[in-house]
Amino acid sequence: MTLPLHLLAPEALVGRGVGDRVVLDGPEGRHAATVRRPRVGEHLLLTDGAGLRVEGEVVAVGPGTLDLRVVSVGSDPEPGQRFVLVQALAKNGRDDQAVEAATECGVDEVVPWQASRSVVQWRGDRGEKARRKWDAVLVAATKQSRRTRRPLLAPTASTADVAARVRGSAAAFVLHEAATVPLAGAALPDAGDVLVVRYEGPRGGPGMQEMLYPTSFLKGRGLGRACALITDGRFSGGTTGLSIGHISPEAASGGLIALIEDGDPIAIDVPNRSIELDVPAHELEARRVAQEKRDRPYTPVNRERPVSVALRAYASMATSASDGAYRRLPD
């Protein structure tokens, strides 16, 4: 039988080694001591929710606390593929059931989706209470399924937010009652994918908004070592893994990054400082011709972003990021 698992704050397990003592107290300790009622000599699993796995032997049982001796320490690696559930807000606890089932099946993140026409709306104190309830469901399901990595609970997303995440994902699936293709038979992307964020350069942004969210997105989903990120935008310094910015010329200026499509092989050679899009020249030329036939070539599709008059003026005069992204006044 699998050992019972308890989720602790990360600091409670930092630096713990074999033979060290760990005190299980607080809500987890009270639950263990009064509900599970383990005896001295029994073993439990402890985790920080980020992959750390500590097996402990009960050496003492107190009123609402357990004292354990560490007998083994291990860690579960970050998965190469991360699964995200976008769950619409629903009535009568149906969304709670979906979140619980998805957690037990191994989902890595849950995104609460609040569409403009959703009957349920998370607003004010009631919204915070509902969010805390979802988080409690995630924690309980994580322990019930003996997972050492608990799913993340993302900020509440609008339909536009969900659409943006779908565009940036390697694969997206709609779970619909009329669907005929089982999810188990769907083709999934491999580790080693490259996330391309474009139209964020001096002209395309405009103004080069920072890329902290995409880099945090990759790290939070365990893809920091499995995927690369390239962008014509900029970073704030909070990057992780292989993150490459200031791609020039930018997409809005007709740079090669504007012609990349899903599935294109991209070779990144860090020692030799090179990035190569492995697509035949004739295919790239065909893409460029198609791009330039658009009503507004070299612009993002379906992006809704308010742009001030000042930024529009800057975009019309901005130079490449490789030149400093300064304004070049017309002669």
- The whole-number pLDDT of residue 312 equals 85
pLDDT: is 59 or 224 the higher one?
59
- The whole-number pLDDT of residue 232 equals 87
Which among 275, 257, 256 is positioned nearest to 266, based on CA atoms? 275
Q: How confident is the model at residue 238 (pLDDT cuts 50, 70, 90)?
A: low
How many residues make up the chain in this entry? 331
Q: How confident is the model at residue 192 (pLDDT cuts 50, 70, 90)?
A: low
pTM (two decimals): 0.56
Average pLDDT score, the chain: 83
What's the average model confidence in pLDDT over 39-46? 89
Angle, helix 94-105 to helix 124-144, in steps of 10 degrees: 30
- The whole-number pLDDT of residue 97 equals 87
Cα–Cα distance measured from residue 97 to residue 37, given in angstroms and rounded to the nearest whole number: 28
Q: Which two tokens stand for residue 278?
A: 């492995």
Q: E strands along 28-108, which residues?
A: 43-47, 52-62, 65-75, 84-88
- The whole-number pLDDT of residue 161 equals 85
Which among 216, 204, 212, 208 is positioned nearest to 251, based on CA atoms? 204
Q: Which two tokens stand for residue 74?
A: 């291990």
Cα–Cα distance measured from residue 60 to residue 67, given in angstroms and rounded to the nearest whole number: 5
- The whole-number pLDDT of residue 259 equals 92
Give tens-digit pLDDT for 277-329.
889 999 999 999 999 999 888 888 877 778 888 888 888 888 888 888 888 88
b/e for 229-266, b at 16 or more Cβ within 10 A?
A: bbbbbbbeeebeebbebbbbbbbbbebbbbbbeeeeeb
- The whole-number pLDDT of residue 243 equals 82
Give tens-digit pLDDT for 132-166.
999 999 989 998 888 889 898 999 888 888 887 77
Give tens-digit pLDDT for 76-134.
887 767 788 898 888 877 888 888 988 888 888 899 998 877 788 888 888 899 899 99
Helix intervals (H) in the chain: 26-31, 94-105, 124-144, 159-167, 212-220, 281-292, 309-317
Which neighbouring-strand residues pair with 157? 113
Residue 7 has pLDDT above 80, yes or no: yes
Whether 236 is a known active-site residue: answer: yes
DSSP character for 115? -
Give tens-digit pLDDT for 207-220.
887 776 677 666 66
Residue 195 has pLDDT above 80, yes or no: no
Cα–Cα distance measured from residue 93 to residue 97, given in angstroms and rounded to the nearest whole number: 7
* Residues 268, 275 contacting (CB under 8 angstroms): yes
Cα–Cα distance measured from residue 246 to residue 231, given in angstroms and rounded to the nearest whole number: 6
The one catalytic residue among 72, 158, 236, 308? 236
Cα–Cα distance measured from residue 285 to residue 71, given in angstroms and rounded to the nearest whole number: 62
